[in-house]
C-alpha cells in the first residue's frame, strides 16, 4: 500500500540531511595543530579554498600564537569564516584575572582583528583528579564566568568543549551551563572524546541538545581507535541519526585530524564518508 505519510517523512529527512551535511554547513576542525605539512597561515587559507571550504575553527598550539592574528586577518580578507577559536585552560596556570600568556593572546588577538566568534574552551583533564566534585564545579564555574564576561566584551561567546576528564563529562558540562543562567554559554560535543561514555550517548545528547552549538563528527567504534574516518566505524551513523531525529540541524564539525596526517587528504576522506552514510542527492 502507498504510504504518503512515510514518503513525506523520508523526503523531509533527506531535506534536513541536505542542509545539515552540505559543505557550507560543515566546520573543518583540528587543521592547525595537527598538520604534518606545518602550513603557514596563507598556505592553510589556500588549502581551504582549494577544497571549496569557506569556514573553519581555529585550533592552535602554543607555537602558533605568534601567527594567530595574522591568520585570522587573512581569513577575513579571503571571506573565510572563523567559527571558533580554541582556548585550553590549565587552572594551575590560568586563574580569573591572571591568564597565562598563551591564553591572554587569544583575547588580545580577537580584539586586534575585530573577530566576533565562539571561543571553544577545554580544560586540562588531569587538574581535576585531586579535586572533589564541589571543588571542581566551583572552580570551573568561576573560570567560565570570567571567560564569558571577557568574551562578551569583545562580541564573542564561550562554548564548553568535552576534552576528557571531569570537565569533559556531559553531566558536568550541563551543570556548569545551568550554574550560569545569565551567561550565553553553549556546548561543543566531540564524538572522538566520547568513547568512555557511549552507553549513555542517547541520554547525554538529549540533555545537552538545548545548548549544542556544534557537534564534531568522527568514525566511531566502541573499542577504538579514537580517531578514524567517518564511515569506517560501526556506530557513527546511528549516533548522527539520533541527532537528526532530535531535530539538530548543525552545524557539524568535520575533523582534519589524524596524528601525522595531512588535513588536505583527511578532510575530503571524511566528507566522502559522510556522503556515503547520508547521501544528499538520492
Instruction: Give the domain ranges of the chain.
Output: 14-277
Mark residue 29 as left, alpha or beta (left: phi above 0; alpha: psi -120 to 50; beta: remaining): beta
Nearest to 241 by CA among 262, 220, 259: 220
Q: How far apart are CA 156 and CA 63, in angstroms?
A: 24
**From start to end of 41-163, where are the E strands?**
55-58, 81-89, 118-123, 157-161
**Grid cell 523526503 in the structure block, residue:** 11
Which triple of cell numbers denotes residue 269? 576522506
Element (H, E) at 48: helix 41-50
Give the pLDDT confidence score for residue 6 in this predicted structure: 39
Give the pLDDT confidence score for residue 109 in this predicted structure: 98
Give the burial class of 21: count Cβ atoms within 10 A of its Cβ; 0-12 exposed, 13-18 middle, 19 or more buried: buried
Per-residue pLDDT of the chain (282 residues; tens, 9 = 90+): 334 343 344 444 554 565 789 888 899 999 998 999 999 999 999 999 999 999 999 999 999 999 999 999 999 999 999 999 999 999 889 999 999 999 999 999 999 999 999 999 999 999 899 899 999 999 999 999 999 999 999 999 999 999 999 999 999 999 999 999 999 999 999 999 999 999 999 999 999 999 999 999 999 999 989 999 999 999 999 999 999 999 998 899 999 987 778 999 999 999 999 999 999 754
Q: How far apart are CA 142 and CA 116, in angstroms?
A: 23
Task: Cis check for the bond before 36: say yes or no (omega within 30 of 0).
Answer: no
Q: Which ranges constitute the DSSP H helices of 154-231?
A: 165-168, 170-179, 201-208
Q: Characterize the bridge pairing of strands 252-255 and 212-217.
A: parallel
Give the pLDDT confidence score for residue 12 in this predicted structure: 46
Give the pLDDT confidence score for residue 249 in this predicted structure: 82
Say if CB 158 and CB 145 are below 8 A apart.
no
CATH 3.20.20.150 correct for 14-277: yes
Give the pLDDT confidence score for residue 193 in this predicted structure: 96
Give the pLDDT confidence score for residue 224 in this predicted structure: 87
Give the pLDDT confidence score for residue 100 in this predicted structure: 96
Nearest to 13 by CA among 269, 241, 199: 241
Q: How far apart are CA 85 and CA 119, in angstroms?
A: 5
Amino acid at each position: 500500500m502507498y504510504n504518503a505519510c512515510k514518503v513525506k517523512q523520508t523526503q523531509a529527512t533527506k531535506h534536513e540531511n541536505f542542509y545539515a551535511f552540505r559543505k557550507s554547513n560543515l566546520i573543518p576542525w583540528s587543521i592547525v595543530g595537527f598538520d604534518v605539512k606545518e602550513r603557514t597561515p596563507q598556505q592553510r587559507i589556500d588549502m581551504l579554498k582549494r577544497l571549496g571550504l569557506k569556514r573553519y575553527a581555529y585550533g592552535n598550539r602554543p607555537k602558533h600564537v605568534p601567527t594567530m592574528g595574522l591568520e585570522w586577518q587573512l581569513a577575513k580578507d579571503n571571506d573565510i569564516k572563523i567559527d571558533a577559536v580554541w582556548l585550553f585552560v590549565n587552572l594551575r596556570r590560568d586563574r580569573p584575572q591572571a591568564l597565562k600568556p598563551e591564553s591572554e593572546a587569544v583575547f588580545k588577538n580577537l580584539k586586534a582583528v575585530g573577530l566576533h566568534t565562539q571561543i571553544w574552551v577545554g580544560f586540562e583533564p588531569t587538574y581535576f583528579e585531586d579535586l572533589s566534585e564541589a571543588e571542581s564545579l566551583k572552580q570551573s564555574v568561576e573560570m567560565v564566568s570570567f571567560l564569558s564576561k571577557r568574551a562578551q566584551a569583545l562580541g564573542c561567546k564561550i562554548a564548553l568543549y568535552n576534552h576528557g576528564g571531569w570537565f569533559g563529562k556531559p553531566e558536568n558540562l550541563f551543570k556548569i551551563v545551568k550554574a550560569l543562567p545569565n551567561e550565553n554559554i553553549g556546548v561543543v560535543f566531540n564524538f572522538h572524546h566520547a568513547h568512555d561514555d557511549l552507553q549513555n550517548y542517547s541520554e547525554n545528547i538529549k540533555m545537552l541538545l538545548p545548548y549544542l552549538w556544534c557537534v564534531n563528527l568522527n568514525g566511531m567504534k566502541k573499542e577504538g581507535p579514537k580517531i578514524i574516518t567517518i564511515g569506517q566505524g560501526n556506530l557513527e551513523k546511528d549516533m548522527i541519526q539520533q541527532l537528526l531525529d532530535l531535530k539538530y540541524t548543525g552545524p557539524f564539525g568535520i575533523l582534519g585530524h589524524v596524528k601525522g596526517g595531512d588535513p588536505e587528504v583527511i578532510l575530503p576522506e571524511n566528507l566522502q564518508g559522510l556522503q556515503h552514510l547520508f547521501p544528499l542527492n538520492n
